[in-house]
Structure 1
Amino acid sequence: MIPRSISAELQESAREYPVVTLHGPRQSGKTTLVRMVFPDKPYFSLEDPDIHMAAEEDPRGFLARMEDGGILDEIQRLPILLSYIQGIVDEKNRPGMFILTGSHQPRLQEAISQTLAGRTAILTLLPFSLEELRNYAKEWNPYDLIVRGFFPRVHEQGLKAGRFYSGYLQTYVERDVRAMIQLKDLNLFQQFLKLIAGRVGQTVNYTSLSNDVGVSGTTIKNWISVLKASYVLYELPPYFENIRKRVVKSPKIYFTDIGLIAYLLGIETPEQAERDPLRGGLYENLVIMEILKVLTNRGQRPDLHFYRDAQGIEVDLIVNEDRTLYPIEIKSAKTFTPGIAKGIERFKSLLPDRVGNGTVFYDGDRDFDFKGNRVRNPLRVEDPYGVITGG
């Protein structure tokens, strides 16, 4: 098993809180991780019909089998257990009793906020990060990563990416969508997925998507909401605080795992990915997700944005760290040109007292600084977030 960077944060949280909740997309490795980090705790999957029935029919009796707590996998399948867990941890008042995992964020967060507020640490496990894979293989071609994605089974078991994502889409994505909303036409939903994959890194235009798919704008919003809830999509909000210009206020959409985009677009080889017209958006998705993973693996709540205004000033990513804004440009080009940093420089002029040094991430071989901005290849630096913040 490839070690996970979040393991230390998971252990520390269990020393401080009676409950630790680990959520994230299906197949990101949650079950494997918690069973490895807490090998002595009894494990129960609430997706197992027999276990689910036993827990539902007699919650007290079921939890009584875990005198010192245990691991409850996919807790959102039976959120009523959280009320009983609250009573147990309040009575025993011991850290690290229950380890919970879940895949549906809103459903899980709503239940936790009602029952376990202040009693649980909440962590997010996404698919592998570059840092984790770097211990597995020293050199990576970004376009190989775009095709293979970052799900653990593809790398640890050597699965073919196309076969994995075909099964992942049918078994998890479509099933979860059906469980959360009434999906009347699966073909239209599949068409929508391919369309949104083709618009990766673009601002969401509900009207355009609605017209192209042939469903209402409300349906498009519901589908996006469900895919965000299942950690299939990630929404990057715009930054417009203290900005006096007309700015874009629609979010951008990215996929939590880049390999699913490649599968939906029919990209099967690194060579195809490198030649694809969407190469820039794919590379941008890869880098933004890497920064997100670095933060979630440290137990931090990411504060990420992008910026675009009516005058054409655009910054691909803005990291808000301790009230300092760090602008980042992401380009798939192998050659740096001064024009790449133009958006960073213009954004600095808007908020000179709040904007820190900028970063350009590109696919070139040279690492250097340009006008106080760092120019780096994100696949070759050990800590891309440290590059951004100067840490």
Structure 2
Amino acid sequence: MPRRPATVRWRFTVMYAGVILASAVGLLVISDLIGLSGTRVSETAPVGNAPGGPTLAAAQELIAQLSEAREAQSRQTLIGSAVALAVVAVLSPVLGHLIAGRVLLPLRTITTATRRISADNLHERLAVPGPADEVKDLADTIDDLLGRLEGAFAAQRRFVADASHELRTPLATMRASLDVAVAKPGPVPVQTLELADRLRTELDQIDRLLDGFLTLARAQHGALVDRQEVSLGRLVSAALDARAADLAAKDLTLRGGDLDGDLDDAWTRGSATLLSRMVGNVIDNAIVHNHEHGWIRVTVTSGATLVVETGGRVLDQAQVARLAEPFQRLAADRTGSDTGSGLGLSIVTAIATAHGGALDLYARPEGGLRATVTLPPSEVRA
């Protein structure tokens, strides 16, 4: 099991406790030295008897008594010092912990406020009050960074909106030109009609690719302003109903939920438009990259989890894990289809991530793929 690195507060606690303990030891040593030096007496007995003075025996007895008193005082001083040192040793970690917490309190406040700020509320600032010290400089630096990020996200959203308009206009013009060309009076050569059909097909592919780019950009960089309570089960039922013809065209057997909407219900909170696109992409991937007469199992759990499984050939887990990245596709001989732009599952990943969820792709050992989309559940029922 990997060893957890020590936190800054723990290191500060050890440092402050060590400083307190060392200071206490130093003060006790100095106090003991001063006390002992003040109690020293002469242990030399006087020679002879001075007139009117104490006898030699009395002097020796007095010296013995003084020596015993000094030793008793020394023992008491040492015992008191030991007790005081033990108390300081016990209290120093507590005091060090409290002091470290007090010192790190402004940093914890900054960390909590920074975690609260996301792409949806980049307009908020830390605005830490206090004197112009290192902590205030750090908070102001983070505020400046948030300002630059807010500008970058706003520019990204403007680009997505402008690209949606500017790039779709020439596509519509090209389609109109094709329709005018084939609708002219007189016989139209067969080669021209075939070319027009191929061009329409390519334009449709470009349109889908553009739509995928815009959806991906919105999910990754856009703000989810249309959050609401969404029923995941209803979205899945609607997506299956809309794709009934595609399921029938490949003679795919639907297991788990059916087209009558009897799936287990689950609620989450987010953009209904993006979540509907996410569910549709998962099911489209299961239909397109499937074999004739295959099967699809769709389940929805109350924890806001969607699981879509398909049968088929055994796939490589390393390759399957990369399917969540843009433009990553398996070979046609492994999936039964070479259609698609390679953006479908990457859009699913971006939308799930934007809602606080995740996509997990798993190559089933018996063959086929299992896609699991997990979203934060909501207790509210719309």
- Shared fold by TM > 0.5? no
From the two aligned structures, give the one with the greater strand fraction: 1
Which structure carries more relative contact order (alpha carbon 8 Å, separation 6+)?
1
- What is the TM-score of this pair, normalised by structure 1? 0.24
- What is the TM-score of this pair, normalised by structure 2? 0.24
From the two aligned structures, give the one with the greater helix fraction: 2
